[in-house]
Amino acid sequence: MSTPVPQNKVVQWIEYRLPVFSWAIAHGVDYPAPRNLNYWWTFGSMAMIMLVAQIVTGVLLSMHYTAHVDHAFDSVEHIMRDVEWGWLLRYAHANGASMFFVVVYVHIFRALYYGSYKAPREILWWFGIMLLLLMMATAFLGYVLPWGQMSFWGATVITNLFSAIPWIGGDLVVWLWGGFSVDNPTLNRFFSLHYLLPFVMCGMVFLHLWALHHRKSNNPLGIDIKSPKDTMPFSPYCTTKDLFTGTVMLFVLFVFVFYLPNTLGEAVNYEKANPLQTPAHIVPEWYFLPFYAILRSVPDKLGGVIAMAAAILILFVLPWLDTSKVRSARFRPIYKQLFWVFLADCVVLGWIGAMPAEGVYIVIGRICTIYYFAHFILIMPLLGRFEKTLPLPESIHQSILDKSLKSKTGNIS
């Protein structure tokens, strides 16, 4: 039974002209969510909370920020010291970026574990990867804005990577910079794009959720919804769960904001950008480290850039590389183990990305890079063919009934 639109006169007047209320009820209240969704399914809404939080804090920060090489660094200090609650806004925004990546990385690994990228959710998955790319671009551009040493040198190293592209590379970098080095035009355009992209992300999230609601959510069993008995209304069941984990997430974020605000940052970024002095180590933010490790694992500059780009772009074809008919790792005994190996591989890559590119770190980085690609190119296609999967339950509601029956008879005996 669907929830009726309120009979209030104003609501009815608007509804007749633009059915926003019935639309909101259909998608926010009545949406039939699988009744076995677990807490890993709340990370998408946490990502939405973080996107909104970043936009709100970012817009407020930009009211006091000056995008000019002579003033940017000082304007950030001004925000920290003189602007009322400026320190809170800045720390919430800087640490918020990290929290955003934490929840999105968990969100992605959840999708990998339960096979949420497989048919018929490929387009939903693609929108997700585009969101990841947009997030990365936005975070990179934002890091340049305080115009500290790491801002400047990070921007120099990363934009220089484009020069590896044959023929057009050199011109492309000059075009990106708006000059012959990272300078005022660069900072200006980075600020402009950093402001713009989060709104592009909002549009992309809309498409992401449209695709989700069209084909409906996957679930821990990875089987399709077969009857209304397999579902429950999104509100209040999912909304309360989302509110709970959203609150816990904000609590964790504020532990960082209030007690450890600079733990994830680089001390050297509190020094103003100096084009004549390179910092001892140039390291990106933690969320880029696995990709940075892949970049450095290839001894050739162009090869490294291609490998780093491929590490993300390969996700676009994952739905076809994974040949298994079964979605959820719960019924894929070997994939279940290899999922954790892959996760560990990504963590080790992250660690390597933070280490100097020398000696044993290079060797480990190369092994992990090879494994990263082997997971997609070899393991996923072959495993789907040869793995003996476990029998799937008949339906979502039947599996819940069986489980509760088992626990009841277990209690009696």
User: Counting contacts by CB under 6 A, is residue 41 touching ligand HEM?
Assistant: yes
Of 217, 297, 324, 399, the active-site residue reads 217
Our answer to whether residue 217 is catalytic in this structure is yes
Return the residues of window 300-319 that contact ligand HEM according to CB under 6 A: 315
Count of residues in contact with ligand HEM, rule CB under 6 A? 29
Helices 289-297, 333-354: axis angle to 10 degrees equals 80
Q: How far apart are the first and last CA of the chain?
A: 39
To ligand HEM, the closest distance from the beta carbon of 125 in angstroms equals 5
Nearer to ligand HEM, 69 or 92 (CB): 92
* 285 flagged as catalytic: yes
Which region, judged by CB under 6 A, interacts with ligand HEM, from 104-112, 162-170, 171-179, 256-264?
A: 104-112
| Cβ count within 10 A of residue 345 | 20
The answer to whether 70 is a known catalytic residue is: no
Regarding 43 and contact with ligand HEM (CB under 6 A), the answer is yes
Is 242 a catalytic site residue? yes
Binding mask 314-353 for ligand HEM (x = CB under 6 A): -x--------------------------------------
| Residue from 93, 107, 118, 332 in contact with ligand HEM (CB under 6 A) | 107
Q: Which of 230, 242, 266, 322 is catalytic?
A: 242
- Among 72, 83, 212, 396, which residue interacts with ligand HEM (rule: CB under 6 A)? 212
Give the residue, chosen from 36, 57, 66, 116, that forms a contact with ligand HEM under the rule CB under 6 A: 116
- Tell me which residues in 117-136 interact with ligand HEM (CB under 6 A): 117, 121, 124-125, 128-129, 131-132
Q: What is the nearest approach in angstroms of ligand HEM to the Cβ of residue 356? A: 30
Residue 313 CB, nearest approach to ligand HEM (Å): 12
| Least distance in angstroms from the C-beta of 248 to ligand HEM | 15
Residues that bind ligand HEM (CB under 6 A): 41, 43-45, 47-48, 51, 104, 107-108, 111, 114, 116-117, 121, 124-125, 128-129, 131-132, 201, 205, 208-209, 212, 217-218, 315
Catalytic residues, by residue number, are: 213, 217, 241-242, 285
